[in-house]
A and B are shown apart, each in its own frame.
Chain A
Amino acid sequence: MTARPRRLANPTERLWRRQVIRLIVLAALGTVITLLIRALEHSLADQGIHFSFDYLFEVAGIPISEGRTLGIAHGWPVLQEYLPTDMNSQALLTGLFNTVSVSLMAIVAATVLGVAAGLGRFSSNWLLRNMCFAFTEAFRNTPLLVQLMFWYFGVLLQLPPITAVAHLLGAVTVSVHGISAPRIDSLLPAGVGLLLCLLAMLMWISTTALRQVNRRARMIVIWLIAALVVLALAPAIPLNVDYPISGRFQEFGGVNISPELAALVLAISVNSAAYIAEIVRGAVDSLPIGQWEAAASLGLTRSDLLRQVILPQAVKIALPSLGNQYISLTKNTSLGIAVGFPELFNVTGTIANQTGRSLEGFLILMVTYLLLGTAISFAVNYANSNALRVG
């Protein structure tokens, strides 16, 4: 590797070079921004289109097959069913609700499955080890879109039709129209219950900071969280159970999980689980080998060792990468468009088609995804800094 001898720069030259680079970059950025804004004004004037967000308050007129939107009832914000007579903004909120619910479910499922598969790589059982390896390889080496198609068209749409379906436990049905189960009406309106659960979750995250500090304070906070959760899930009085009723074509009432939702959650969770397994494996690998040997000499069984010694440390190491995976996961929900699931990207496109408002729709989309990504990074960074502080 022969390098031409370069003249070494003295400090003054270096300073000048830095300033010149700064000027060039700023000038370039400034030109680009001005050009773009000019072009934007010019093109909007050309088209005669007024850039405005008024369309958000017009009637949507489009149907959305599932999800809840935000409405006001008795002064409280509530989650209510979306109707085509609602406004465009409520349609977008329905899409957002769907995106967020899929992301949350997938994050939980992927973490559980991924950590299990990652730890399974270190099991003493040869079969289990290699099956975890095969699982990781299979789902990381194939495209997510193909997996999604397979789950939807290949698995969920092959379930029996509603006329041939059996009733499990008398009330739960699994058919090509989805899963139906009875639902217990809750005491509080749906939106309030959700807010309470979110509050509980935030409090749970912040207790990690109190772990070593103040045992009594921590107990109080845990009891508070439990109370919040119980309140949020409390059944209405008198007890009212919504049983699914068989209509001519599908089940009504109760809790319905559509095949689109199930396919998207399944595909995204399993795919992310494979990546998380790889991350966990890498984290465990990076731990000093001495720990395993010490634990063996202490007589700990393999599963005890994994659960109590290795796992906490591995999670701490893996946390930043896990955060990245969660953000990826949230972005992957935009593939729901391929199976007709009405998440945010899909709904925005439909509205843009109906109203011609692609510009505004795109802006809203970008801001929303940025906020979602930032929120997840924030939560993970917070957990990360707490974990580092404590350990």
Chain B
Amino acid sequence: MSSPFHSMIFWSRRNLFATAKDVALTVMLVLLSIWAAYHFIHWAVLVARWDVVSDSLRVFLVGTLPPTEFWRAWIALLFVALIVGSMSGLGFAFRPRQMALTILFLAGLTFPIVGNNIPVLAAVCSMTVSFVASWFLVSRLALSIRHVGCFVTGSLALIFMILAPAGMDRWGGLLLSLVFTLVSSFFIIIFGVLLAFGRRSNNWALRLPCIMYIESMRSLPLILIVYWIWIAGPLFFPTWNVAAVTRGIAGFVVYFSAVAAESVRGGLQGLPKGQQEAARSLGLGEFDINYQILLPQALRASVPALMGNILDVFNFVPVVFVVGLADFLRTGEMVLASPRYGDRTYEVYVFMLVIYFAIGSVLTFVARGLEHHLSKGSRRLSELH
């Protein structure tokens, strides 16, 4: 007689109450979780005043972009959603039911906050629609990485062209964080691959500078690099108005290319050497070997590490406060600085943590999907449990 009740007891016996130590541990953790959850929910629902978030949504989303330029921000965010959706489509099949449930759940959470702010509501809805649409298209049409890659490049260029006339120093908020991450990642992957291959070159004139560059970036903090590229920028182009955003991106690219190079190197190391020797015996030149044979495999193998790097880029964008850019974190502080909301520290910080966590989770989710997709065939212990 195995009713659901019995199977539940059986499961708990095995997983929660196996030994005496286990019992104690389970009880302690359950009590801890209940206490923490109760306090948090009590605060979030009864004590916190969330009007600071709904009033400042515009600042959070786009910083100090003037209202006449919102349409640009809206289009840019649409394309960001398209890019992320298409990349998810590469890794995961389109499952309508689960997606609908997730969307309903998220809508339930965000509607109370966003509800009365029509422009933001419209933006969020259109972003969701484009995200789902691109996922659907990519997975149903079974587009390859190459197609998606071209699309992503084109969209990034489009985003830049659309946003630039608004005045790049006015970008701010979540828009800045997202665009900054995407544009930097694009260049970081390119330069990272170049550096990784340069590091393996037989030509010492290529190898040594690459090694020195990678090793020195390993030891220097990002905040230092960004700050000093920001200072050196106008020296080379005194009459050009090189925006702080561009200099910030340059700083990130300089630093993270070295990190990405190490990830790609890890992928390269896993490849069997026999391929290179066979190719060489066929008379293929170095460049051909690298480009036609090694590169596709190396990229595939280093995707998890590279996605980890991209997540790091996103998580380090707040460092641009040293060069005066108003990214998402800084807009939170600016909101706290105004007298009306001076004592809402907790609300604003919790809101920012939740949003950052959501976006980070999306990135990790996409990374895991890609990793799973590319490594079918090897059993993993953690998946057995």
Contact = CB atoms under 8 A, between A and B. Distances in A.
Direct contact of A and B (CB under 8 A): yes
Given A131-B29, A141-B311, A143-B329, 8 more contacts: A3-B292, A125-B22, A126-B16, A127-B30, A141-B315, A145-B318, A338-B321, A366-B220
Interface in B322-376: 329, 345-346, 349, 352-353, 356-357, 359-361, 363-364
B218 interface: yes
A142 interface: yes
B379 A370 contact: no
Contact of B219 (A124, A301, A331): A331
A386 B310 CA distance: 33
A284 B318 CA distance: 33
For the complex, would chain B's binding face be called helix, strand, loop or mixed by DSSP majority? Answer: helix
A337 B226 CA distance: 15
Contact of B385 (A129, A153, A154, A370): A129
A128 interface: yes
A14 B382 contact: no
Contact of A127 (B26, B223, B360): B26
Contact of A138 (B222, B282, B357): B357
B285 interface: yes
Nearest to A335: B223
Interface in A230-288: 281, 284-285, 287
Contacts of A144: 315-316
A45 interface: no
Contact of A369 (B209, B224, B349, B356): B224
B29 A127 contact: yes
A179 to B, nearest CB: 22
A168 B381 CA distance: 46
B345 A127 contact: no
A51 interface: no
B288 interface: yes
Interface of B: 15-16, 18-19, 22, 25-26, 29-30, 33, 202-206, 209, 216, 218-224, 228, 235, 282-286, 288, 292, 311, 314-319, 321, 329, 345-346, 349, 352-353, 356-357, 359-361, 363-364, 379-382, 384-385
Contacts of B316: 143-145
Contact of B18 (A124, A149, A284, A332): A124
Interface stretch (A21-29, A67-75, A217-225): A21-29
A128 B203 CA distance: 51
Interface string A1-20: 00100101110001001100
Contacts of B318: 143, 145-146
A284 B380 CA distance: 10
Closest 4 CB pairs of A and B: A373-B219, A141-B360, A126-B15, A22-B205
A150 B25 contact: no
Contacts of B25: 125, 127-128
A338 B321 CA distance: 10
B174 to A, nearest CB: 13
A137 interface: yes
B192 to A, nearest CB: 15
14 contacts: A6-B288, A8-B283, A8-B285, A22-B205, A25-B209, A29-B209, A137-B364, A138-B357, A141-B360, A143-B329, A144-B316, A146-B349, A331-B220, A377-B218
Contacts of A14: 285-286
A146 B353 contact: yes
A125 B16 contact: yes
Interface of A: 3, 6, 8-10, 14, 17-18, 21-22, 25-26, 29, 43, 121-122, 124-129, 131, 137-138, 140-146, 149-150, 153-154, 281, 284-285, 287, 289, 292, 301, 324, 327, 331-332, 334-335, 337-338, 345, 362, 365-366, 369-370, 372-374, 377
Given A125-B16, A131-B29, A145 B329 contact: yes
Nearest to B11: A126
A142 B384 CA distance: 28
Nearest to B283: A8
B283 A140 contact: no
A43 B218 CA distance: 30
A304 B382 CA distance: 19
Contact of B349 (A131, A150, A338): A150
Given A22-B203, A370-B216, A141 B221 contact: no
Nearest to B204: A22
B349 A281 contact: no
A347 B216 CA distance: 22
B284 A154 contact: no
Contacts of A362: 224, 228
A143 B220 CA distance: 19
A334 B203 contact: no
Contact of B360 (A22, A142, A345): A142
A17 B316 CA distance: 40
Nearest to B26: A127
Contacts of B381: 122, 284-285, 287, 289, 292
A331 B223 CA distance: 9
Contacts of A337: 223
Q: Counting chain A CB atoms within 10 Å of each CB, which of B219, B292, B382 scores highest?
A: B219
A377 B288 CA distance: 35
Contacts of B284: 8
A192 to B, nearest CB: 29
A21 B219 contact: no
A20 to B, nearest CB: 10
A338 B316 CA distance: 14
Nearest to B291: A3
Given A153-B349, A285-B382, A137 B361 contact: yes
Contact of A21 (B206, B315, B319): B206
Contacts of A21: 203, 205-206
A362 B19 CA distance: 58
Nearest to A39: B235
Contacts of B30: 127
A14 B285 CA distance: 8
Contacts of B359: 141
A222 B318 CA distance: 46
B206 A146 contact: no
